[in-house]
């Protein structure tokens, strides 16, 4: 009988396992892939995420970002540039980053079973069981940290359909001269798709190129991705493209049931404005561990404290991010122009990523820049475009 079985060894699951194990709980961490495993992800560990981590992302960083070039519609001439003396993000390959997090969990005392897939849960709380392709285990609590496509949310009836965006990515091999051109710099281009952006993130030996759309409706992402990569002179093969849903936070939902908690992407905590998810995965992992420790100590397995903490510390911010996203993606060109003419809004946006500002501050700044009439008209359009 484990105190907790954590399903999934991404940032959410490994953070939960580490924190629980450090406090002396008996933890089994089950991961269906053999580690290290590839995860489709641009790998930007934001300042906000770094502030929450117990490991140092710099130890596995492929690059440290200090400059962002922002373009419109794949026109790379005359970009808007944001430069920061402090790191904007550490860029990692998720295989190495997640392995480091898993090793921290093992060092803390967690048992890791990788290459083992959870296939079914029996959630009768007096005796919860987790069945995998190898065995069956009993646990007092379960954490579903099995990502956007995991089974825990579905089997616990906590899954919320139609709340995901989508992102896709390739890892492009390019000559060293092209890599050098992008050192410490990322490219973000808005306009295609309308409700998202395309990106170029440099890694130590290649470039990660991707595109994401942050509305539940799908736009023509592959066509837009082709246009983006062509504008950079980069060819790719269809079989190299990796796509994955991005579950968008900020909505009303349950994150727990007695004895069971959802964390990270499984709980739908992706940022509806940027698609960022690592920071919220780590943060929810911390809150999950604290709630479980409380349950083990008090015998109250309602996990209500987790629901409240996620609402207050994460989802309230994601609600504002959702508001910002619906306004931003209703009129992306207006915001692109605003970025060019108003350095303050551009700076505040990236300071948000760096963990130096809160969503509420950015929302309030927007209110002071845009007249109430413009804001109301954009919000009206936003409701039509991003229901």
Q: Which residues of the chain form contacts with ligand FAD (CB under 6 A)?
A: 7-13, 30-33, 39-44, 117-118, 145-147, 150-151, 167-169, 210, 244, 246, 264-266, 270, 275-279, 281
Q: Which is nearer to ligand FAD, 148 or 366 (CB)?
A: 148
Query: Taking the alpha carbons of 278, 255, 145, 119 in that order, is the dihedral positive or negative?
Result: negative
Q: Cα dist. 371→310, 365, 366, 385 in Å?
A: 33, 11, 9, 21
Please give the Cα distance from 100 to 53 (Å, whole number): 11
Q: Which is nearer to ligand FAD, 41 or 330 (CB)?
A: 41
Return the H-helix or E-strand segment holding 64: strand 61-65
What is the smallest separation between the CB atom of 117 and ligand FAD, expressed in angstroms? 5
Query: Taking the alpha carbons of 72, 74, 279, 154 in that order, is the dihedral positive or negative?
Result: positive
Q: Which is nearer to ligand FAD, 267 or 331 (CB)?
A: 267
What is the smallest separation between the CB atom of 163 and ligand FAD, expressed in angstroms? 14
Q: Which is nearer to ligand FAD, 101 or 303 (CB)?
A: 101
What is the smallest separation between the CB atom of 118 and ligand FAD, expressed in angstroms? 4
Q: Which is nearer to ligand FAD, 44 or 232 (CB)?
A: 44
| Nearest C-alpha neighbor of 153 from the set 245, 261, 251, 244 | 261
Please give the Cα distance from 240 to 43 (Å, whole number): 17
Return the H-helix or E-strand segment holding 107: helix 94-108
What is the smallest separation between the CB atom of 209 and ligand FAD, expressed in angstroms? 10
Cβ distance 279 to 270 under 8 Å? no
DSSP letter, residue 34 = P
Match 């804001």 to its residue by tokens: 375
Q: Which is nearer to ligand FAD, 39 or 67 (CB)?
A: 39
What is the per-residue DSSP string for 136-190?
EEEEEEEEE---TT-SHHHHTT---TT-EEEEEEEEE---HHHHHHTTTEEEEEE
What is the smallest separation between the CB atom of 81 and ligand FAD, expressed in angstroms? 20
Closest residue to ligand FAD, based on beta-carbon distance: 277
What is the smallest separation between the CB atom of 127 and ligand FAD, expressed in angstroms? 20
Q: Rounded to the nearest 10 degrees, what angle do helices 278-298 and 11-22 cross at?
A: 30
What is the smallest separation between the CB atom of 21 and ligand FAD, expressed in angstroms? 17
Residue 149 corresponds to which tokens in the numbers above? 């496509």
Half-sphere exposure of 269 (CA within 13 A, CB side): 32
Residue 105: cis peptide before it, omega within 30 degrees of 0 = no
| Nearest C-alpha neighbor of 362 from the set 374, 373, 351, 375 | 351
What is the smallest separation between the CB atom of 278 and ligand FAD, expressed in angstroms? 3
Q: Which is nearer to ligand FAD, 53 or 151 (CB)?
A: 151
What is the smallest separation between the CB atom of 73 and ligand FAD, expressed in angstroms? 21
What is the smallest separation between the CB atom of 251 and ligand FAD, expressed in angstroms? 16
Please give the Cα distance from 25 to 206 (Å, whole number): 41
């Amino acid at each position: 009988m484990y105190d907790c079985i954590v399903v999934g060894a991404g940032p959410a699951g490994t953070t939960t396992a580490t924190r629980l194990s450090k406090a002396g709980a008996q933890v089994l961490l089950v991961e269906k892939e053999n580690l290290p495993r590839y995860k489709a992800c641009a790998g930007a560990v934001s300042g906000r995420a770094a502030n929450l981590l117990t490991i140092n992302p710099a130890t596995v960083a492929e690059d440290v970002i200090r400059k962002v070039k922002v373009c419109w519609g794949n026109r790379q001439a005359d970009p808007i540039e944001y430069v920061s003396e402090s790191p904007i993000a550490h860029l990692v390959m998720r295989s190495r980053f997640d392995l480091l997090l898993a090793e921290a969990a093992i060092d803390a005392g967690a048992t890791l079973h990788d290459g083992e897939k959870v296939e079914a849960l029996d959630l009768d709380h007096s005796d919860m069981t987790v069945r995998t392709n190898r065995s069956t285990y009993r646990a007092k609590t379960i954490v579903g940290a099995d990502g956007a496509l995991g089974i825990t949310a579905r089997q616990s009836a906590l899954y919320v359909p139609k709340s995901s965006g989508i992102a896709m990515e390739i890892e492009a091999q390019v000559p060293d001269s092209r890599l050098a051109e992008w050192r410490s710099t990322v490219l973000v281009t808005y306009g295609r798709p309308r409700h998202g952006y395309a990106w170029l993130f440099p890694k130590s030996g290649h470039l990660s190129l991707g595109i994401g759309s942050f509305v539940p409706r799908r736009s023509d992402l592959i066509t837009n991705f082709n246009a983006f990569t062509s504008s950079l002179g980069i060819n790719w093969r269809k079989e190299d493209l990796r796509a994955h849903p991005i579950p968008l936070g900020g909505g009303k939902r349950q994150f727990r049931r007695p004895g069971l908690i959802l964390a990270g992407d499984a709980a739908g905590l992706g940022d509806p404005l940027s698609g960022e998810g690592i920071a919220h995965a780590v943060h929810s992992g911390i809150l999950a561990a604290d709630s479980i420790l409380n349950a083990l100590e008090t015998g109250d397995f309602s996990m209500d404290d987790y629901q409240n903490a996620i609402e207050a510390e994460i989802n309230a911010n994601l609600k504002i991010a959702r508001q910002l996203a619906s306004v931003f993606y209703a009129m992306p060109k207006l915001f692109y122009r605003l970025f060019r003419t108003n350095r303050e809004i551009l700076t505040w946006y990236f300071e948000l990523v760096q963990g130096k500002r809160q969503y509420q501050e950015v929302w309030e700044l927007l209110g002071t820049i845009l007249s109430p009439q413009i804001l109301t008209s954009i919000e009206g359009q936003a409701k039509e475009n991003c229901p």
